[in-house]
Chain A
Amino acid sequence: MPNLFIIFKYFHIFVSVLSLGIFSVSFVAALLYLYAERKIKHKNRGVLLSYLPSLSVLEKIFNKALFFGFILLTLVILSGIGFEKLKNGHYFVLSEFKQTWSLFCWMLFFIFLNSKTKRGWQGYRGVLFSLFGFCFLAVLFFVGFK
């Protein structure tokens, strides 16, 4: 099955790069949102603030990028599992850091996206929380692309 192996391998790399890009967009939007939100909250008029879009627009960009990033992360994990099966003959090894970490990140964002509207994790609180998620993701991508 060499062809399927190559397909899984390249698909895994492709969706990994894509999800990294999409998560980066979400991360930048989150940082800009936090900057603008704090400026408005504390009644400061930063120079950058006048050039930024509204909080609502920044949050929409953050949310959409996060959602698509999560879907791509799911594809990264699924293709990784398939790739692992074809390469080593087993689907998942809990002892391997990359695999466990990716599952942990996936669950973290799954819980976050589900609770976002239900628990009122929108706006400042939600964006701040997601920044922790991005830190975990950064570790995953660092290990993954090594």
Chain B
Amino acid sequence: MNYLVIGLNHKTSPVAVREKIALDEKAYPHILKKFKKNLALQEVVVVSTCNRVEVYCFCEDNEKNRNYIISLLTRNQIPENHIYIKTGCAAIKHLFSVVSSVDSQIIGENQISKQLLVAYHCARDIGTTGPSLNKLFEQSFNVAKKVKTQTALSRGNISVGSVAIALTQKIFGALDQVSVLLLGAGEIATLTLKSLKARGAKTSIINRTFENAKKLENKNLGKALAWTRLEEQLLETDVLISSLSCFLPLLSQDLLQKTMNIRKNKPLFIVDLGVPRNIDAAVNSIDNLYLYNMDDLSLIAKENQKKRAKSMLLAKNIIDEEACLFYDAIPHHEVRPMIKKIGEKAEQLRQLELAKTREKLLHLSEADFSVVEQLSHSLVNKLLLSPVLKLKKQKEPLSEQTEAIVKQLFEINSADTKGDSHG
């Protein structure tokens, strides 16, 4: 019995492959029941996110089980070269890396630990987890917390949009009282607006082509306004996101100075995502006006990315250390059936020899014979103590050669131990 991970992620397969087998959270119970029903899988958790689809299980690691998991996971639609298989300590390390967001496409993102928590809770509720996976997942969330608190892996924003949102929060505080105006319809600008709206900001859109603004309004991104209302709207807005394609600055210093005077110097944050720039760079000298262009935001994002990369080494060290500690603490399940069989064999021999002795010592009273019985018991236990302890202390699975020697020494059949390990 061993920990086993089978799956594919953004590093091993393109999105076109991943989307073929991606699962909705609602589909977890169905596939988990299939796993539980059709295979002697002891414990199983299925995780599916936009970047990975994985099956974590605790089972007999053999070809038959591996093939069954792969066929059920991929529905035979994906070539096997996209799939990775990890066992034992490597599987534990993999889960710790995934949950700590070290293995994510966007390193340090927080979403993955929540997605894993949902997948784990689903499996636990359905009853496809047991002591081994429960312990592993609980520990993985502890490791994720440790990585988060002891490293800077999740600190700082690493995309242009998220840096702009963080700056908006730094200037205005709560976003639900902020009004945002989008000029144009650039992709990053639209995504930033979408995020701000999701956080409660009041949004409006102005485009030189009103229909384009209307299209965004239909997507529920904000109120579309006519181009002629730009100057009027500038008086009310707190954040201006501009992403127009124009070769001369659209908003000059004079215009914005006048606007700021009328606004009575109420702070204005301008995010200029246009290339060439839409806003005259000199406007940043106006009091209470903050101008950030694409380069400024990218620079901050890159600095944060570098900081995160520096933290990766520390995070990986924590994960390696924790995975080794966890793996070392597991009593090795591979040897349990063997130990059990050795005990049974010894007991069988003891009983046989006791019966023979009884026939020879008929003159002994029951009380006297019980002393002999105790002696036999004690002798067997003492003889087995040393080999059994040594087997229990095994941290790696026994090699085939060692296993054969142990079986030969104690005269145990291979079929006996294998049969039990499935149970």
Task: Kindly state whether residue A146 has any CB partner on chain B within 8 Å.
Answer: no
Q: A54-B170, A56-B172 are in contact. Are A122 and B264 (CB under 8 A)?
A: yes
What residues of A have a CB within 8 angstroms of the CB of B288 in the complex? 122-125
Per-position 1/0 for B152-183, Cβ under 8 A of A: 00010000000000010111110000000000
Complex A-B, nearest 6 residue pairs according to Cβ-Cβ distance, in ascending order: A120-B264, A54-B173, A120-B265, A123-B288, A56-B173, A55-B171
Q: Which residues in B have their C-beta under 8 angstroms from that of A56? A: 171-173, 267
Residues of chain A having any CB pair with chain B under 8 Å: 36, 40-41, 43, 45, 49-50, 53-57, 117-125
The residues of A that contact B296 with a CB separation of less than 8 Å are 43
Apart from A43-B296, A50-B155, A55-B171, list 9 A-B contacts with CB within 8 A. A36-B170, A41-B290, A43-B300, A49-B170, A54-B172, A55-B172, A56-B171, A56-B267, A124-B287
A-B CB contacts (within 8 Å), total count:
55
Q: Tell whether, in the assembled complex, residue A123 and residue B172 are in contact, meaning their CB atoms are under 8 Å apart.
A: no
In the complex, which of the residues A49, A57, A122 contacts B266, with contact meaning CB atoms closer than 8 Å? A122
Task: Judge if B71 is at the interface, Cβ distance under 8 Å.
Answer: no
B261 CB–A CB distance under 8 Å: yes
Contact B300 A123 (CB under 8 A): no
The verdict on B403 contacting chain A, using a C-beta distance below 8 Å, is no
A49 to chain B, nearest CB (A): 7
Neighbouring B residues of A120 by C-beta, 8 Å: 260-261, 263-266
Please give me the residue from chain B that is nearest to A36 by CB atom.
B170
By DSSP majority rule, is chain A's interface helix, strand, loop, or mixed?
Answer: helix
Q: List 25 A-B contacts (CB under 8 A).
A: A36-B170, A40-B167, A40-B170, A40-B290, A43-B292, A43-B299, A45-B300, A49-B170, A50-B155, A53-B173, A54-B170, A54-B171, A54-B172, A55-B170, A55-B171, A55-B173, A56-B171, A56-B172, A119-B264, A120-B266, A121-B265, A122-B265, A122-B266, A122-B288, A123-B288
If the complex has contacts A40-B167, A55-B267, A117-B264, are A123 and B173 also in contact, measured as CB distance less than 8 A?
Answer: no
Interface residues of B (CB under 8 A from A): 155, 167, 169-173, 260-261, 263-267, 284, 287-288, 290, 292, 296, 299-300, 303
B43 → chain A closest CB, angstroms: 42
Q: A120-B265, A123-B267 are in contact. Are A54 and B169 (CB under 8 A)?
A: yes
A56–B261 Cα distance when bound, in Å, is 19
State the Cβ distance, A134 to closest chain B Cβ, in Å: 20
A50 to B154, CA, bound (A): 14
On chain B, the residues within 8 Å of A55 by CB distance are 170-173, 267
- Inter-chain contacts of A119 with B (CB < 8 A): 264
Closest to A52 in B: B170
Q: CA separation between A121 and B290, bound complex, in Å? A: 17
B201 CB to nearest chain A CB (Å): 14
Which residue on B lies nearest to A126, using beta carbons? B265
Contact present for A123 and B287 (CB under 8 Å): yes
Note all chain B residues with C-beta closer than 8 A to A49.
Answer: 170
Contacting pair B170 A123 (CB below 8 A) = no
Tell me the smallest distance from the CB of B347 to a CB of chain A, in Å. 67
**A-chain residues with CB within 8 Å of residue B171 when the two chains form the complex:** 40, 54-56
Evaluate contact between A57 and B170: CB separation under 8 angstroms.
no
Nearest residue (CB) in A for B297 is A43
Q: In whole angstroms, what is the CA distance A123 to B288 when docked?
A: 6
Distance in angstroms from B261 CB to nearest chain A CB is 7
The minimal Cβ–Cβ distance linking A131 to chain B, given in whole angstroms, is 15
Docked-complex contact A125 and B300, CB < 8 angstroms: no
Residues from chain B with a CB closer than 8 A to the CB of A123 are 265-267, 287-288
Which residue of chain A is the closest to B266 with respect to CB atoms? A122
Task: Give the residues in chain B near A43, CB-CB below 8 Å.
Answer: 292, 296, 299-300
Give bound CA distance, A118 to B167, whole Å: 28
Point out the residues of chain A lying under 8 angstroms from B169, CB to CB: 54
CB distance from B45 to the nearest CB of A (A): 36
Chain A residue at smallest Cβ distance from B168: A54
* Alpha-carbon gap, A36 to B290, bound state (A): 12
